[in-house]
Amino acid sequence: MSDRVSCGYSGPKVKSDCRVFYEISDTELSIVVSEEKSTTILEDAIRKTAERIGIFRGIVEVENSGAAPFVAAARFEAAAREVLGNDFPSLPPARNIKPSGKNIPRRSRLYVPGNRPRFMEKALTSEADGVILDLEDSVSPDRKLEARIMVAHALANLDFGGMEVMVRINQGEYAIDDLDWIVPQPVQHILIPKVEIADQVSVIRDMVEKVSELCGRESGIWLMPIIESPLGVFNALEIARSVPEETAALTLGLQDLSAEMGVTPTAGGTESFTARSLIVLAARAAGLQPIDTVYADVKNEEGLMESVNRAKELGFVGKGCIHPQQVSIINEAFMPDKASLNNARKIVLAMKQAAAEGLGAIALGSKMIDPPVAKQAQVVVDNAIRLGLISVNWQEEEME
């Protein structure tokens, strides 16, 4: 290992990032930032990080390309660990972490590379229901350490507003390293890639519980298995039922699945119809939300709309996004339509009347309404309230 290492990116085409060099030295820690206007704030962030992990000597040089303080701190920490090893304290655990609900709207979930703070910035204004800070496929193997450090610093410092904050972890030995960094921070949902058997979910659940206990985290974290292989599809129900108290949704990854099937995804989706249907059925059988795969052709809005419509017809309640431009189309398409919402409200009111009369079911028009139907209607109404389509006091307002 060299005595001088750099982490990050800089240059005329780079935004919201920096390249930080750290060199071992016997001299007192010195920090030089390329841009005078950002010297103090970035130097302070790096110096605080150095004090936290116990580094008081060395030479730090920062080639700044508009980085926020937490970005500079993360880049420095990654570089220092590359030189000196990883036996330093990680970020202190966050407190008062707000959990997300099991049935909150998950129409759009925007994937963001975990090593690219510029994309994290863009995600904040995307209006997606959730943001996925990705540590897996979008990060090359030699960048895993700095990516998990960046994601942990982002979780600790960024305000994601009302978006559900998610992280997609890696497989195998990388998973526990990812969890050590992210579980203490305000992550609400963890995506588990390439799940093929139920035990894979149980193992991650146990890891999360262990790290949570060590860092003092009390609020739970939802788990979302991603089905990406033929074996995973056939085991989807067992996977969905593996840890029911910790799982909120089940999702599909068609890129890897298509490759294993030896097929090329088509516009009509014939090759994925069976897999998608099985994912929806498995999710619903386990009481989970079925979430559809991403649509890879970013510039094809018409194709995206067709893909979303097919997903809705199959029973999916949301879809992954790989670009902020896809968010508004997906959000609008998965918004409850006026007719469905009005019908759901009528069902909820009818079942309220049935309960008052001591009945388990009641007629609404030509149909009988029973508890399972009412439960589905209540989910539609609850989501409409969360999305601001109706007031939380809508029942009282209708009676006025």
CA distances (Å), origin 229, targets 220, 258, 315: 28, 8, 20
Write out the chain's pLDDT in tens, 400 residues. Answer: 568 999 999 999 999 999 999 999 999 999 999 876 767 899 999 999 999 999 999 999 999 999 999 999 999 999 999 999 988 988 999 988 999 999 899 999 999 999 999 999 999 999 999 999 999 999 999 999 999 999 999 999 999 999 999 999 999 889 999 999 999 999 999 999 999 999 999 999 999 999 999 999 999 999 999 999 999 999 999 999 999 999 999 999 999 999 999 998 888 888 999 999 999 999 999 999 999 999 999 999 999 999 999 999 999 999 999 999 999 999 999 988 888 888 888 888 887 877 777 777 777 776 777 878 888 888 888 878 877 788 888 887 776 5
Residues of the chain within CATH 3.20.20.60 domain(s) are 108-333
Residues of the chain within CATH 3.30.230.10 domain(s) are 4-84
Q: Strands (DSSP E) along 193-234, which ranges?
A: 222-227
User: Is residue 273 within 8 Å of 315, Cβ to Cβ?
Assistant: no
Phi and psi of 307, rounded to 5°?
-65, -40
Q: What is the CA radius of gyration of the chain?
A: 24
108-333 maps to which CATH number? 3.20.20.60
The SS3 assignment for 172 reads coil
Whether domain 4-84 has CATH 3.30.230.10: the reply is yes
The SS3 assignment for 322 reads coil
